[in-house]
Structure formats: structure tokens, C-alpha cells
Structure 1
Amino acid sequence: MPLHPQVSAVLAAAPAREAVSDDALPRLRAALAGGAAAFSGPGTEVAKVSDVDADGVPVRLYLPGDTPALVVFLHGGGWVNGGGLDTYDPLCRYLAALSGAAVAAVDYRLAPEHPYPAAFEDVDTAVLWLRRTGAAEFGLDPRRVAVVGDSAGGHLAAVTARRWRDVGAGFTSQVLIYPVVDPSTPGKDPAAFPVPPDLAAVQLADGRYCWDRFAPEGYDRAHPDLSPLAADLAGLPPALVVTAEYDVLRAEGEAYAHALAEAGVPTVSVCYQGQTHDFLRGLAVFDAARAAVAQVAATLRAELA
């Protein structure tokens, strides 16, 4: 279908965005944080929200009630931009309220100040803390834990699910929202994607910058931690993979879902028509955002029951 009218309206009203660069990054980070309220809304009330120190990693824990199930949430932003915990606060609140599970948003370190593998180190530290100290302190069940991430956070979630499987402490479920899984995508021609050329060009340019700052020259991007499609995927937890029709990441997300299914992993892949990248945060502007979060929440509620 064509771009959804709501998406077209938001794109048309948005001011011209500065191209991502080292000089522009502080301003882009501030803009993401500053625009969160208008894009995502005020957020849903939940019973308790706690900012905790997970052995040096900032984590915001959303507790919708007396539930022992836990969702580890890893935000997007190309590994270089997250806007802080406040940017994803409305989304995490809504996800906790609908799923009935505690949601732990991990504020991992960002590139280029902290390139790969810093983000993975922080995620692992936070997960270990949540499954031990956090579980005891907040009454969580360390055996009923899902991992969820969007965009670059989807990449972190996919790899984290595999890394913890490898040490015998796998997750119950994984949800990957327009995940980054193929380092070669940003080098492709914008015309190769069923996305308006100007939009594809911006998305690909962002991708090139983000990959170059997260895993600079000298890193082996064929390593499974950087290229999840290269990994052995058998035995991973059930997966929901969400993509957007007008997103250059759609093809790689769908390819990863197919690879999971081929490896015997129970997998559902869904593409939201008329939507573009980062639509899930747009709770205040996109009907599809609330529908998608509801689908994610229903999946988590079923898998973590």
C-alpha cells in the first residue's frame, strides 16, 4: 500500500533533518530526546517505576503489578543515539501495561564514544544483575525473561538471545522490531529497495554512519555478534519479528525471520503496511504503533505465562 496518510503527514511536517555526522550527533541526540513527548505521548501509568543501578549500568524498571515475568528492553538509535531512558519511556510504560510483565529498559553505552563490544558488555551486565539481585529485590522470576529490541536494539536483542543460549541460560522469548542484522545493507543502491528514493537514501546514509561508528574499520563484521545471520540459530527462543513496509531494514529482518524458522525456531514475521522505520515509538501519531505494541504485548504475555 502507499505510505499511510499519518506517516506522510508526519514526514511532511518534520523539519529538514541535519545529516548524521560526528559534529551533528550531539544535536541529533538532543532532538530525539526533545521530540519524544510529541511523538510518543505522555506515557501510561504503571504501578511503580524505579531507576536502578545494575552493577554500573543504568536501568529503568517498570512494574505494572505483582508479576514475576520480565522483559529486557533494548532501545534503538543506531547504537549511537538513544536519547536516554526518557525517550523510550512512553513505549516501555505501554508495553508493561499491556503485557503485564515488568519491563527493564537498559541504558547501554553508545558509540562512537564506546564502540563494539561496549553495548553487549552493558547488556550482559544488566541481564545478570536483573536475574540475580533484581529478581530477588523485585520478586521477578529469572526463568521467565524475554528480550525485546527495536532497530539497533533489535540487533542487540538477537545477539543477546544467542549469546545467553550458548551459556545455557537462554531467554523465554525474543521480539525483534525492524532489527539490524546485515552489515552489507547500507552499501546497497537506494533503488534496490521498495522505498521512496529520498527516504531510502536517508536511511542508508544513517546506516553507513552508524555501522562505521559502532564497528569501525578493523572489526570483522562477518562475526556472528555483528552479523547475526552468520550464527547457528538452532535452539533460540520463539521469535516475533516486526518490520515496516517502507524501511530499508525490512528485507534483512524478514531474511532473519526466515533463517530462524529454517533453524526450527518457532517464528512469526509480520510487516506493518504503509509504515516506515521507527513507527513503533509514534504512539501519539500512528494508529499502527499502538496496534504493533499490542501484538508484541500479547506475544509476550503468552510466551511468559
Structure 2
Amino acid sequence: MTRPQPPAWLHPQVRALPDTTAPIDPRRLDEQRRLVADNTPAEAGPGVPVHHVADVDADGVPGRLYRPAEGRLPVVVYVHGGGWVDGGLASHDPLCRLLAARSGAAVLSVDYRLAPENPWPAASDDVDRAIDWVGSAAAAEHSLDGGRLALSGDSSGGHLAAVAARRCRDRGIAVRAQALFYPVIDPTGATWGETVNPGLKAPNMRWCWDVFVPPGVDRTHPDISPALGDLRGLPPTLVVTAEHDILTPEAESYAAALAEAGVSSVAFRAQGLVHGFVRRLARFDAAAAAVDVAAGHLARHLGG
């Protein structure tokens, strides 16, 4: 006997928001980028106080370093979302502040090059350079402990973080943990479906993939499709997803594949929520709770 399924439930904080998601207009991309940055105070709040915040040059890659305390600190390299075409230091400032405050680790937010002006592999190369900088003498001047390194990111930033974790393993760089918020994993879009809920829509996700990885590039390469690489030996991983997000099936499948490969892997799904909720700390109660879960996971593996 088939059990009746409960009706889909949207959190009241989601229902209160109009669905303003529209097809991406490449001619207005600069305007969209400005709006995302300008709207961050309303969406995410002012951000919690952090002991010290400074913009840094991570071997040519712009970054922002959040230090929650004095002394030599472990480091979380944070990679922002935005479909590889949007977002930056301003859009994720409140989130990175909270992650630093909650985890007790320094957080390095990476301002990688964006598509379509800089298609793959520019963003991944920038993340690698920032990670290398964390272990350099220049970073040591900021009292960073490059031997206690973790990675984190949301959406397309989660994709870049997942790719970086495997590349670090292959380059002999120890990563103690990764925390991924609704990461993009599969360029085929096989499980996306359609949605009428506020948040990410399949046509926009397809457009982002097409400008990030132009035609002619092999999308089965593990630097593009993280689940298709060798997952053995990757760091303990937390994957946070949202119930009403077209990326949830692929993100949770990635978490399952990691577990099957012998990696410590945990997945949490936020009920009633949509894609992008973690950055919107002033809109969704679940955002700070998700950051707390991620911070606890990172702190546990970075300690000692």
C-alpha cells in the first residue's frame, strides 16, 4: 500500500517573499552584480562584529580575511556562490563574519574571477592560488596556521570548493574538512526539474553552466563534474541542502557518493527552504542555524 505523501510545505518566511527570479539578461549583468552587493544589508543584515577584518592580496587573488581572535588560527577558505557570474566579497561579508565568529577559525573569502568574462578554469585556478597563499610565508604574517585548513562554499562556490578539495588531495595539500551549502555538482541538469517556488530556476542554471564552461570543453572532467572523480581520501564533508531547491538531488547524491567512497559524509536538508537561503541571514531563521551546523563541523576537524 502506497502511503500518501504530505503536501509540499514552504516556510512562511519563503512564502512572504515575491518570486522575482527572472531569466538572466547578459546585457544587464553588471547591473545585477551591483544590485546583489547593494541589497546585501537588507538580505543578510550588517554582519556580526569580528575581531579583525582586512582585505588581502592572496598571491594576486583579492580576498578578505576575517580573524575572530588573536593568536595563530586555523583557516577556512570560503568560496562564494552566484552561478560563477555573480557575488563577491560584499555579497558574502555577513555570512563569512558569522562563520568566523561561530567556528573560531579565520575565514578567507576568495574574490575569484567571474564568468562569462573569465570562463573555466579561471575561477578554480584562483581558488587554488588562494589556498596556496594560506600556506605561504606571506599568510604566516597574518598568524594563519596553514596546516589546519578547511574549505567551504555555497552553490557555485560549493562546486569550486568541492573541486579544490580533490585538487588539494592530488597536490599533496592536507584539507581537514569541507562544508558545502547546496553545491552545484552535475552540469547535465538531469535531476533539476522545474519549480514555481522562489529561488533558482533551471533556465538560469543552464545559462550559468554554458558561460562558465563554454561549448567544446569536456564537462565530464572531474574539475567540472566533481562526482565523476576519484572521491577516496577526500576530507570529512558536510552538505547542507534546501527542500525546495532544484540542486538538492545532485548535492545529496554527491554526499552519498562520498560516503560510499569511505569519506565521512553528512547531509542536512532544511525543510521548507529554497536555494540561496544561507546567505540571507536577515530573511531566514534557518540561515544562522545552518551556519552554526557548518561551523561546528569545521571547528571539530580543525581543532588541535
TM-score per shorter chain, which class?
over 0.9
> Sequence identity, in percent?
53
Deviation at 1:175, TM superposition (A): 0.8
- Identify the residue that residue 65 of structure 1 maps to in structure 2: 69
Contact kept in structure 2, 1:186 and 1:205, CA below 8 Å: no
Give the secondary-structure state (helix, strand or coil) at the position aligned to 1:23.
helix
**Structure-1 residue corresponding to 2:202:** 204
Query: Structure 1 residues 243 and 251 mapped into 2: Cα distance closer, same or farther (>3 Å)?
Result: same
Deviation at 1:189, TM superposition (A): 4.1
Alpha-carbon shift at residue 199 of structure 1 (Å): 3.5
* Residue type of the alignment partner of 2:227: L
User: What is residue 249 of structure 2 aligned with on the other side?
Assistant: 251
Task: Tell me the residue number matched to 2:30.
Answer: 26
Q: Name the structure 2 match of 1:194.
A: none
**Alignment partner, residue 229 of structure 2:** 231
Moved segments of 4+, more than 6 Å: none
CA drift of 1:98 comes to 0.7
Contiguous gaps of at least 5 residues in structure 1: 191-196
The one of 290, 301, 304 aligned to 1:303 = 301
Contact kept? 1:75, 1:150, Cα under 8 Å: yes
Give the match for residue 149 of structure 2: 145
Cα distance between partner residues in 2 of 1:28 and 1:43: 22
Unmatched 5+ residue regions in structure 2?
A: 1-7
TM superposition shift of 1:135: 3.4
Point out the structure with the larger helix share.
Answer: 1
Deviation at 1:198?
2.4
Structure 1 residues 258 and 187: alpha-carbon distance in aligned structure 2, compared to 1, 3 A threshold: closer
Is the 1:98–1:297 contact (alpha carbons within 8 Å) kept by the matching residues of 2? yes
**Equivalent pair of 1:186/1:204 in contact (CA under 8 Å):** no
TM-score by length of 1: 0.93
Q: CA deviation at 1:105?
A: 0.1
Alignment check: 8 A CA contact 1:75 1:152 kept: yes
3-state secondary structure, aligned to 2:144:
coil
Q: Equivalences for 1:1-305 in 2 at 5 Å?
A: 2-10=9-17, 12=18, 16-66=20-70, 67-82=72-87, 84-185=88-189, 189-190=193-194, 197-199=195-197, 203-305=201-303
TM-score normalised by length of structure 2? 0.93
Question: When the two structures are aligned, how many residues end up with a matched partner?
Answer: 295
